Structure 1
Amino acid sequence: MGKTYLLRALVEQLGGFYFGATAATEAESLRQFGAALADHTGSPVPFSFATWDDAISYLFGLAGPRQTDAPLLVVIDEFPYLAKTAPELPSLIQRETDRFQAEESWMRLLLCGSAMSVMGGLLASTAPLRGRAQMELVVRPFGYRAAATFWGVADAPALAARLHAVVGGTPAYRRQFLGDDVPRSLAEFDDWICRTVLSPFSPLFREARYLLAEEADIRDTALYHSVLAAVAQGNTTRGGIASYIGRKSVDISHPLHVLEDSHLLAREADIFRAGKSQYRITEPLINFYEAVMRPAWARLESGQAAEVWAQSAERFAAQVAGPHFEAVCREYLLGPGRSLLGSALGEVGCGVVTDPAARRQIQVDVAVVEPGSGGRKPAVHLLGEAKWGTVMGLSQLERLARARELLAGRGMDTGRCGLACFSAAGFSDALRGEAARDDGVLLIGLDELYGGAVPAPPR
């Protein structure tokens, strides 16, 4: 995501001490830290610390009375590597932090790491550093619009959507991993994906595996890959995941929690049914790996990328691009499409509306619901359906209208509820005609999602 880039730029701008940890033993890490600290202070010889207790005490001692008004900036990057071999480090930092706070600290300490579960655990309820942090910042990937601009494909929405469904918004994938190898048009996308993501000679080929392996709390990677594969295959409920991997629901609680803490899996509550939820893989490259690459791994390793990709069109559309497009449509409403809701506030999500008369369930891909408060009923502001590879017609609109009717029957306020059709493949003439006649119907395609004029809010 560029965390190290940002931290190095900060130290370069403001001065201070930067230490980038590596995967090493405790003794070697301590030597590396002593050498870096000696270089920072101008010592002609490396410092030799017997323990991390000595090293941390000396480090904080540098932040004593200073000649300038600027505090000492200290950055420790990839902190999980150190914490793994020296679990006492957070407690040592807590001790020194508490001591210096009582004397007006002149230190600003930034701890950074890629292992989300470890970094999040530093501030957990029983952790030594609980309550000591003044800031917790998660450096997130680019949103889908910023990613399109970064890859230079903002003027080609169909290409941008496919790129984002595969590599997401991670900046390093373009430059550090692929050396600026970017498809220039949609016609080049197939060749590009075969020579990059699906090629065993590309750094991206095994990146999804490495993302999982770098999380310290993940030990049985086979189990975690199976859980992710279940979600990628469309088994998004706890019961569905358990059934897919052949375990009981209670047996997968731990891996689900670890994947959530690692920000690799997100549990999204059903916006219409309390207590119901489904899981979604948050990292597009992992979802692509589990859905397309992992089932054909041996063939890909033997160089059959073109054949595998040619046979994966339906799987890519159904398990990768389709669910990703739904998530992008919800992101659109949280950002550039927010004006569609006017002044209304509400939770953006998805959910299922049960139709008892027809004995079916209506999946609503995009919904905006404002919870009720006091004597006010919950209000539904928008219901939407998203289709990746299907030209949308009146049947989708009728399904949304039926969902609105059912929600009104359950006591929800649907008086100002608009209906939205999101499609990457376009809309039928009949649907366009209906939208032209009905101000409450919105048609949103890739052009609108990627920077076109935002449609007028439904009235």
Structure 2
Amino acid sequence: MDALLALGSERPVPVVIDEFPYLARANPELPSVIQEALRPLRDQRAASRSRLLLCGSALSFMGRLLSGNAPLRGRAGLELLVRPLDHRLAAEFWDITDPRLALKVNATVGGTPAYRREFARGDTPSGPDDFDDWVIRTVLNPETPLFREARYLLAEEPDLRDTALYLSVLAAVADGNATRGGMAGYLERKATDIAHPINVLEDAGLLHRDADAFRENRPTYRIAEPLIAFYHTIMRPVWDQLERPGSAARVWQASRRRFTSKVLGPHFEQVCRDWALHHADPDLLGGLPARVGHGVVHDPRARTGHEIDVAVIGIADGTKPPLLAIGEAKWNDTIGIAHIERLQHIRDLITQAGRYDTTHTRLICFSGAGFNDKAVAAANTRPGIVLIDLPTLYGQT
């Protein structure tokens, strides 16, 4: 460490230690060594202009470096979490202008920049009609680095010991089991047995916990990395076939319907929620969102629950937080007047429950397939109804 600090004795020098978690695993004392080297009153530090950058892809480990009583707490001048590109930036980075194609690619590989050039070897779909061929020749091709990337992502996390169990938890979520009880039933285990794997996957940034906007203590989970969701839904069940050259086209032909329902549909819903939180004009929503989620609204008379894909909650300025908007997101369905009437009924149920202020709640319909004439007429003549299409989600209108 003294030698690294000495590099900056005459001028500022960046010193980068990449994949720091692996180095610290080999020498657990390393953070304490760095802490001592960067002690404020130490002569070597005072005379050095070295800029030490500790980098790592293991989110759980890197997140603990500066927390609580960690040795390096108070020593850092910058803590930077490099997030994947969102759907808009990813489309720009992949040079895709067609919003429908952009969302399908984003649902497959997510927003990690390296996946375009290094892992996909610079191969991008030439147009909407090339998507299927691109999946076959690149994503499902055992000769590309992208093919095994989803399996290797787990190996980057030092806290993941029994990888088979963690893979099974992710597979359960990918198959639609979004609750702890659902995962436990899928794995034929007790809910308490999978509590630790869920927490570790959350810390690693591979699993995301979403609170139900309308029911307390009813969280659901989703896979945070689209490539992992695609792998567990499409690739893992037929892995032995895919490893055999020439099988990709046959597998993809049989998997396209599952891709639409299990991968593309849920991803579209999440993009709609991200758009409402980060991109939507507050005037369109009737205020600035404090959080955007989803949930289930109970109908006591019908004794059933109604799922809400998008729930936009504003900043509380009184006894009740305002519910700015509720929305329905349909990837492959044309939105009609029945969808709007359903949202109106659900808004009435939320009003009766009394948890949110629904005085100005707007109804938003998201569709990847468009809207029929009655829906368009309702949006044009009745206040509080908003229709959002794919170009709008991508900022093209």
How high is the TM-score relative to the length of structure 1?
A: 0.82
1:177 shift after superposition: 1.6
Consecutive unaligned residues of structure 2, counting only runs of 5 or more, are none
The answer to whether the aligner puts 1:435 opposite 2:376 as a matched pair is: no
Question: Alignment partner for residue 293 of structure 2, among 349, 358, 366?
Answer: 349
Percent identity over the alignment? 54
The answer to whether the aligner puts 1:305 opposite 2:305 as a matched pair is: no
Equivalent residue number for residue 64 of structure 2: 121
Contact 2:66 2:73 in 1 (8 A): yes
Q: 1:101 to 1:256 in 2, by over 3 A?
A: farther
Question: Where does 1:42-441 land on structure 2 (aligned, <5 Å)?
Answer: 56-62=1-7, 66-67=9-10, 71-100=12-41, 104=46, 106-154=49-97, 156-302=98-244, 303-339=246-282, 340-370=284-314, 372-373=316-317, 375-411=318-354, 412-441=356-385
Contact 1:362 1:399 in 2 (8 A): no
Supply the distance in 2 between the matched residues of 1:118 and 1:153 (Cα, whole angstroms): 35
Supply the distance in 1 between the matched residues of 2:42 and 2:396 (Cα, whole angstroms): 51
Equivalent residue number for residue 37 of structure 1: none
Equivalent residue number for residue 4 of structure 1: none
Q: 1:62 to 1:194 in 2, by over 3 A?
A: closer
1:99 shift after superposition: 4.3
Contact 2:121 2:144 in 1 (8 A): no
Give 2:21's aligned amino acid.
P
Secondary structure in structure 2 of the residue aligned to 1:204: helix
Give 1:206's aligned amino acid.
R
Supply the distance in 2 between the matched residues of 1:138 and 1:392 (Cα, whole angstroms): 38
1:204 shift after superposition: 0.9
Aligned length: 392
Contact 1:174 1:180 in 2 (8 A): yes
Secondary structure in structure 1 of the residue aligned to 2:120: coil
Give the root-mean-square deviation of aligned CA atoms.
1.8
Give 1:97's aligned amino acid.
L
Contact 2:6 2:50 in 1 (8 A): no
Supply the distance in 2 between the matched residues of 1:330 and 1:101 (Cα, whole angstroms): 50
Consecutive unaligned residues of structure 1, counting only runs of 5 or more, are 1-55, 454-459
Give 1:239's aligned amino acid.
G
Q: Which moved more, 1:142-151 or 1:120-129?
A: 120-129
Contact 1:385 1:421 in 2 (8 A): yes
The answer to whether the aligner puts 1:452 opposite 2:393 as a matched pair is: no
How high is the TM-score relative to the length of structure 2?
A: 0.94
Give 1:349's aligned amino acid.
G
Secondary structure in structure 1 of the residue aligned to 2:83: coil
Contact 1:422 1:443 in 2 (8 A): yes
1:175 shift after superposition: 0.9
Supply the distance in 1 between the matched residues of 2:50 and 2:123 (Cα, whole angstroms): 42
**CA distances 1:42-66 after superposition (whole Å, capped 9, x unpaired):** xxxxxxxxxxxxxx24333555xx4
